[in-house]
Structure 1
């Protein structure tokens, strides 16, 4: 089930009203309702993969208790948990990629290797909930978290539907205590959550989907378009992926807030960054902090000298790129970010204050790197760069002029709103409650009208493929 579908618009109000009309002191019943709702939400896509998330839940619940109780086998149970989760990822997400890469590698040296690949469907959200359960086991091993004794509570933590398929990647230390305690209805929380959901739908339906209608044809067939068209697509894709993914996060965070939960912020206006380092502090924060805490720091972080720090940054971003997908495009995308992070450390290119010109430079650098993220193949990525830097710039192909005007309209409103947030240092998570009743109603109705007018189809969110 996806947020921007009719099924969800029927599903969530039913869950919402059942949830709050239950006796509030019976937290266990609320959690059972959330667990059942989460499995319905996930099973709506493909019920067969419910067994996969149930298996992951059982394994990490049992091993979490084992890690906590054991004196001599803590590391063994931790390794077993990590290997189980990585094994699921390797099988369902990377098996064919590794096989095909090995065959291609052997062919370089003249060896013809014939290996079979599997027709495996990638389960939605597997990258997110495996990282979430891995961090649970690691935190217990480190002594930073006590395991929950309630299987219902843990299963709810793993499968909680607002963030199940595309994050944010919630830590057990933040979410499980909220699952275990009684939730209270707070009026301002409702205003904040509802407003953030509306903003999320606007970002997805009006802005991201509108941009996709304009640029998908260019990226799908770059050979028939000129350099100006490709440059337009490159710039617009930066906005598409931001408003698509931040829109998903907004809906997830707002939905959780309506149910009495507080998620961590996942985006903090990343395109106002003045360095690549700052960009990663503002972009997909739940993933970047996960990689920092569970990969970069264990590798040594910046504690073992500058050379090893460069290595650790590079490895972290390389694997972060591979986490996004089983393609060399993602590996190269992550590697470039790792190199740029190292260069910023080397030459001390980290400004302390906002600088408009550095902001524009960072935006265009990030936009160019997104080419590897969006292109259908590595060959297409190289082809696009060749066109960008070798062809003359003529008038770009804009397709349907009405579609382009829709994009410019939605993009202007979305960027204008982000500028207000940035200049006033306001976070979207608390914006709704700062408005008086009249302003809240007028703005909400305006956003809702735009969503209804521009809604065309229930297109998937970009990060569903990861």
Structure 2
């Protein structure tokens, strides 16, 4: 079910009314709504979702009860989730080579098992639930109902399948969410804040991302992009950079607003990433919940920066490479992660030299603006490997830019439309926050305009990019 569909609006309105009319049934209502929401698109994947979620909740319960050996339980629980994720996301790497040696039809049937929507996100939530319990980042005193097994299973299930974030995040750590579970009162709902999040997300998804998608569709196949000029291809590359931000940040904003209306706080997922002053700053601003998850559950357990510079570079590189593969079993995703890992390593290696550069004055400002522009350009180029997951197509796209026989094929009207739909992303990054915080009348007008454009100039595409992960 899509966040910007009439079905979702209807479901949410029904849930909202029942949720506050029957406060004693709030968790039951949320669980029912979450299962309905997920099952709307993939009803046959519900048993897998429930099996993995209940198994992870049971393992977590046993860890909190200090039963058996907590460390071994944690290892088994995390391994189970990684095996499930590995099968569905990487089965073509391991199963397809076996099809020639296995009985006819057996392996082929496994290959055609569909990828469950949101499996990467709810698997990470399962790992967080188990890991946070083992590290005692939440205890029985933080939980509604204590350690009663049925209540804990119910609460754990709510954390894992909570419908505003199950499909594409934000990734919420267990110790952030579990203590929030409890009875909610409508008087505590931050209506203005929640509605602003939803309008902002709807605008950036429907008006910005979906309209830009009309242009970036030219990038999808060699037969289409090879007929374009080099400046057209460059424009589309940056166009996709704006689109993927608007699409994913829009989803995250609607998720945050929806959860807030139900009394739950989800973490902010984007903070003006295209104004980043370095690659490490970019990862503090882009998909914040994923980058913090990788740091806390992968980079730090690998050793972080505690074992000297060489080990630090290796840990950075491995973390980003695995972060790329998390998105899918494709060379393009691996190269995307490797490129970001190398950039972080190079940046860290040259950090001492950067301290000798001017820190004040016109020269310092010019250097910082220039470096920020370089970061944005490189990040935008690397998004090509997200758009074209077939590496040969991505390489051909680059080759076409270099060797194109002409410069332009798009006309002025097409470039004007690209600029119009991309402009909100630039404004969102460049307008100082103090303006939006102090001028309430201006912001009310802006949100009214955003809602109007979302309704009356909605783009034709409505699928969210991150649904595929």
| TM-score where L is the length of structure 2 | 0.88
Tell whether the 8 Å contact from 1:127 to 1:323 is kept in structure 2 after alignment. yes
Output aligned runs, 1:383-398, within 5 Å: 383-391=396-404, 394-397=407-410
Tell whether the 8 Å contact from 2:207 to 2:458 is kept in structure 1 after alignment. yes
Deviation at 1:413, TM superposition (A): 3.0
Displaced runs of 4 or more, over 6 A:
349-354
Q: CA separation in 2, counterparts of 1:456 and 1:174?
A: 35
For residues 434-462 of structure 1, the C-alpha deviation after alignment (integer angstroms, 9 at most, x for no partner) is 664x5555333211110111124462100
Tell whether the 8 Å contact from 1:5 to 1:458 is kept in structure 2 after alignment. no
Residue of structure 2 in register with 1:362 after alignment: 375
Output aligned runs, 1:19-168, within 5 Å: 19-23=19-23, 26=24, 29-70=25-66, 73-100=69-96, 116-117=107-108, 118-146=111-139, 148=143, 149=147, 150=151, 151-168=153-170
State the number of aligned residues.
442
Structure 1: segments with no counterpart, 5+ residues: 104-111
Tell whether the 8 Å contact from 1:319 to 1:334 is kept in structure 2 after alignment. yes
Change (3 A) 1:98 1:275: farther
For residues 387-436 of structure 1, the C-alpha deviation after alignment (integer angstroms, 9 at most, x for no partner) is 233446511436xx76654442232234223322xx2368xxxx68x664
Residue of structure 1 in register with 2:427 after alignment: 416
Residue of structure 1 in register with 2:315 after alignment: 312
Residue of structure 1 in register with 2:218 after alignment: 217
Query: 2:41 aligns to what SS in structure 1?
Result: coil
Q: Which has the larger displacement, 73-82 or 121-130? A: 73-82
Q: CA separation in 1, counterparts of 2:44 and 2:209?
A: 30
Residue of structure 1 in register with 2:187 after alignment: 185
Query: 1:120 aligns to what SS in structure 2?
Result: coil
For residues 266-324 of structure 1, the C-alpha deviation after alignment (integer angstroms, 9 at most, x for no partner) is 10110001211111110000000000000000001100111011110111001000001
Deviation at 1:204, TM superposition (A): 0.6
Tell whether the 8 Å contact from 1:136 to 1:171 is kept in structure 2 after alignment. yes
Q: CA separation in 2, counterparts of 1:445 and 1:207?
A: 16
Q: CA separation in 2, counterparts of 1:281 and 1:417?
A: 17
Residue of structure 2 in register with 1:286 after alignment: 289
Tell whether the 8 Å contact from 1:220 to 1:376 is kept in structure 2 after alignment. no
Residue of structure 2 in register with 1:453 after alignment: 456
Residue of structure 2 in register with 1:203 after alignment: 204
Change (3 A) 1:357 1:225: same
Deviation at 1:211, TM superposition (A): 1.0
Deviation at 1:80, TM superposition (A): 1.1
For residues 80-112 of structure 1, the C-alpha deviation after alignment (integer angstroms, 9 at most, x for no partner) is 111111111111111113345x68xxxxxxxx9
| TM-score where L is the length of structure 1 | 0.89
Tell whether the 8 Å contact from 1:31 to 1:156 is kept in structure 2 after alignment. yes
Deviation at 1:48, TM superposition (A): 1.1
Q: CA separation in 2, counterparts of 1:40 and 1:270?
A: 34
Deviation at 1:66, TM superposition (A): 1.5
Residue of structure 2 in register with 1:194 after alignment: 195
For residues 232-279 of structure 1, the C-alpha deviation after alignment (integer angstroms, 9 at most, x for no partner) is 111111101011000000100011111111111110110001211111
Residue of structure 2 in register with 1:107 after alignment: none
Tell whether the 8 Å contact from 2:274 to 2:429 is kept in structure 1 after alignment. no
Residue of structure 1 in register with 2:15 after alignment: 15
